[in-house]
Every structure is written in C-alpha cells, then in structure tokens.
Structure 1
Amino acid sequence: MNFKKNFRYIFPLLIVFFTSSCANVKDIAYFQKVKVEESSFKKQADAKEFYKARIKPKDLLSITVVSSEPEASRMYNLVVPQIADASNPNSLFSQPVLQSYLVNDEGFIDFPVFGKIKVEGYTRMELESILHKKLAGAFSREIPIITIRFINYSVNILGEVLRPGKYETENDRMTIFDGLAMAGDMTINGKRDNVKVLREKADGTKEYITLNLNDKNIIYSPAYYLEQNDVVYVEPNKSKSRSSNYGAAESFGISSLSILITLTSLIFTVFK
C-alpha cells in the first residue's frame, strides 16, 4: 500500500521529467504578437524602398536583346557554340543556347560591341536602363526589349531544417521564409530566435546577422531578404542540445524506465 501511495506522487513527477524537453509553443511560432491591424504591413509605406538585389562579382547574368530587327539584335545575343553530333544531322538546328555573362572581381562584364561595362552595384532594372541608352543608336525602328536575369542566385540553408543544402532560385527577392520553405522549414528543434545569416560584403569581408523569427519586426532586418550566396544557419534549441548529449547507455536507460513506468501503471490498473 505504501508503494502504491508513493507511486501516486512519483508518477506525475516522472511525466513532468519526460515532457520537460518538449518544445514550448512560444519557441515555435513565427511572427509573435502581430496585431490584426498590422497584418496589412501598412508600415511598409514608411520603410525604405522595396528590396532589389544588386549585382555582385561572380554573379552569372543572362542578358537578352529582342527587337523586330533580328540582324541588329543578333550581334548582342551571344550564342554558345554547339558541336554537331555525327549521328544526328539535325542536332545543330535545335534552340540556340545563349551565353551567360560572368561578373569579374572588378565588377565588369564583357558585352558585345561595347566591351567592358561596369555592372557591380546595379539592380537588374538599372542595368537594363544603362544598356537601353547604349543601344539606342543601333536600332532604327524601335527601342529593343532588354531582359536581365540572375542565373546562379543561390543560398545555403544549414542546421535544423528538414532538407539542408544549397538552393538555386530565379527569385532575386527571396526572403528568409522563402529560403526556409525551400529547405522544408525548420524542424521542431530549430532555434527560431537566433538564426544566423553569414553574408559576404562588397569588399570581400564577412558579416554575421542574427534574425529572430519570433519578432514581428523581422521584415525590417537587413537579412530579411537573402542575398546571393548567403549562408543561413539554424541552431538547435536546448531540447535538441540536451538530447544530443545522451549516449547509448542513457538512451537505453530512459527507454527502459519508460517501459517500466507503463507496465507498472497497467499493473495498478488491473489489480487495484
């Protein structure tokens, strides 16, 4: 009877012990304390201009020039040389592949006819405007359509996410949440209030930016929009850190104790 009486007090304590490592809801939710009237992001009107990715050294750019004057536009669209396949005489008649432009360490690209053009620091639209002015005299009937895209816009997502790895995207306005979504979102063990972003600045130096995904004001952080080659690291929370310290013996002991508690509970249920 004494054991039965004592077990009545011990059992709840054991339950507390085994559930103490479970993540708290407050540690998991994004955008905490966001009021309904703020959900429309009215503050954006007072914020700086919307983020636009700026071209950096080592970026690969796709630049296409289209007009109703094919002879004039052809010289500004470099095509990758293709080797004919002897077994397939039609191999050279497939859709041509346009070359990409590599931004060198000084921030220049080699563009047909005009040679070296400074592109570092410009947005896609700013560079399109610059090229429009340069090409204005080459087209007699119309202003050509110039389209610029990032080819190698990528970020690395590491740590407590479902699918860590390197992710490439055509979206040059990718937010931290877009990046996490591509990686399958954080695991339950991810530390949401201390996400690290490693970023390389224009001068080659590195900087760390800390993000608190629980904070509603995260949209104003300089790392809310991810830049080319950013590295995002999601730290494990205390629950994961504690569990990773358990060895095989500790894990076996906890499993055995859990089974013992379950069996004891069943015995008291049957024989009480």
Structure 2
Amino acid sequence: MKIGTILRVLAAVALLGSCATPKVAYFQDVQPGTPEQILNRLDIRVRPEDKISIVVNSKDPLLMELFNLPTVSRQVGSGSSSSSANSQGLSGYTVDKSGNIDFPVLGAVYVAGMTREEIAAYIKEELMEKNLVKDPIVTVEFQNLTVSVLGEVSNPGRYNIDKDRLSLLEAISMAGDLTVYGKRDNVMVQREENGKKVLYQVDLNSGLDLYASPVYYLQQNDIIYVEPNSMKARQATVNGNNIRSASFWLSLASLLVTVTVLIVK
C-alpha cells in the first residue's frame, strides 16, 4: 500500500515535469508549391524624427567633401589610450517635424514619405539639374529605424531595420522565434497611423491570414507582442513560480519527502 502511494506521487511529479505544449506548424492552410499573393507590399518610408545617412560619391573628391557630412569617431572602451579604440561612423540627418532635412548647398529637402531609393534619386536629380555634380552616386541608409518584439519569444528586444522591407516573420526570426508557450494564432502588432495607435491581430497558423495582413511588412516603431498561451498561465502559481523555476522544484521535493516520511511511519 505504501509503495503504491509513493509510486503514484512519483508519477504525478513526472507528469508535471512533462507538461509542455508542442510547437504548432505555421502556414497550416497553405500547400507547398502553391504561390500565394502578398496583398500589402509596403516599403519603409521615412517619417519625422527618423535618422538617415546620405553619401554622395563623385570622381571629384572636393565635391564629395562638400556634400558629405563628416565622419564621426566614437571611442570604444575606457582607461588609457592603449586600451581604447575608435570606431568610425557616418553622421546622419534627422528628419524634422515638417519632414525636411538640411542638406549641404541644397538647403531644406523634403523627404517625409519617401523610400530610400526615392530620396537618393531626388537628391541625385537636384545635384545634376543645378550643375553641382555631373556624375553623382547617392546612397541612403537607415540609422535609427527599429521594431520591438515582446512577449513569448526567445530573445525579446528592439531590432534595427536595415532594409526597405522587413516582414513580420523576419522580425520574429531575429527574436529567436516564439517559445512553446506563445500563442501562434494571436500575434499582435501595434502600429501608429495618423497619430493613433492601431492594433492588428495575425494568425501565424494560417498562411492566408498572414499574407493578407496589413502588417505582413512592418513599419518603423511597430511593436510585436506574442501572448502566452493557457499552458503558461496555468503554470503560474500565487507566488509567481512555475514548473521550470528552481524554487518550484525545491518546494515540490520538500513536499514529496514529507509525504514519503508520513507514509513510511
């Protein structure tokens, strides 16, 4: 009788330790090899308070110096000069509230709502039309554009946007994918539109839902939140411990020892 009771307690402990939700496959309603259309192919467009770098290259080095901001040296490390190093970085243009940047010689240039390619093409055209540079090559890069990934992902945090299009899947991939406790059918994306916060819901189990979503391609300052599933909620105890915490297992081991002693007596 005593042995049977102990075995039942041990079985319960093993069952608790094995409670984990298996990962659910993405795109369950999409067949391999079947092309699906992405409805909202949004490029990243510059907004006020964004920071961009603009580099003008030319055969004439004097003109390059005239139209390019100085390179900034940033000290890395501390202490004596022998233990520190300098890293080179490009200065950037911050888009003001009116959507302009102050570009050398050209003055105020309106860039809000433009993509990187459009800004580069516009500045190149202006330089050539005003006979300032005959053969300019203009390169535009993002500097402070980010998205944030929160909730049940492996590495929550803020991630840089370094391309014209960043998909929701790419952002989740940068955060290490969802944990086994993340709700794949209820991923939320918060976006600012016309001065208001708008919340979108995406079901990653459905490829059709994902491809049709307005947030398939992200915009700067989007916030992705992955809600914990019911399994994670059930694991939480009154004092905040769960089955993966050391304190939980210590408490459970103490309880098991107490029960065993009582049974033996």
Q: Which residue of 1 aligns with 2:52?
A: 61
Task: State the distance in 2 between where 1:138 and 1:63 align.
Answer: 18
| Structure with the larger strand share | 2
Bigger relative contact order, structure 1 or 2, given CA contacts below 8 A and separation 6+?
2
Larger Rg: 1
Report how far residue 108 of structure 1 moved: 1.2
Residue 35 (str. 1) matches residue 35 (str. 2): no
Task: State the distance in 2 between where 1:254 and 1:193 align.
Answer: 34
- Following superposition of structure 1 onto structure 2, how do residues 148-159 of structure 1 map, counting pairs within 5 Å? 148-159=140-151
Q: Which residue of 1 aligns with 2:188?
A: 196
Q: Which residue of 1 aligns with 2:226?
A: 234
**TM-score relative to the length of structure 2:** 0.75
CA contact (8 A) 1:63 1:77 kept: yes
Q: Which residue of 1 aligns with 2:178?
A: 186
Task: Give, as a single letter, the amino acid of the residue that structure 1 aligns with 2:222.
Answer: D
Deviations 1:108-130 (A, max 9, x none): 11111122111111111111121
Deviations 1:156-176 (A, max 9, x none): 111111111112242331111
Report how far residue 229 of structure 1 moved: 1.2
RMSD of Structure 2 on Structure 1 (CA): 3.8
Gapped regions of structure 1 (runs ≥ 5): 5-9, 89-93, 264-272
Q: Which residue of 2 aligns with 1:208?
A: 199
SS of 2:183's equivalent in the other structure is: coil
Task: State the distance in 2 between where 1:138 and 1:253 align.
Answer: 76
Task: State the distance in 1 between where 2:242 and 2:43 align.
Answer: 53
Q: Which residue of 1 aligns with 2:98?
A: 106
Report how far residue 18 of structure 1 moved: 4.9
| Structure with the larger helix share | 1
CA contact (8 A) 1:79 1:97 kept: no
Gapped regions of structure 2 (runs ≥ 5): 75-79, 261-265
Distance 1:196 1:96, change over 3 A: closer
Q: Which residue of 1 aligns with 2:263?
A: none
Greater Cα shift, 54-63 or 141-150: 141-150
Task: State the distance in 1 between where 2:72 and 2:21 align.
Answer: 56
Which segments of structure 1 move beyond 4 Å, counting only runs of 4 or more? Answer: 17-21, 80-83, 94-97, 138-141, 246-260
1:221 to 213, 217, 223: 213
CA contact (8 A) 1:152 1:168 kept: yes
CA contact (8 A) 2:72 2:91 kept: no
Q: Which residue of 1 aligns with 2:77?
A: none
Distance 1:96 1:75, change over 3 A: farther
Q: Quote the sequence identity (%).
A: 35
Q: Which residue of 2 aligns with 1:121?
A: 113
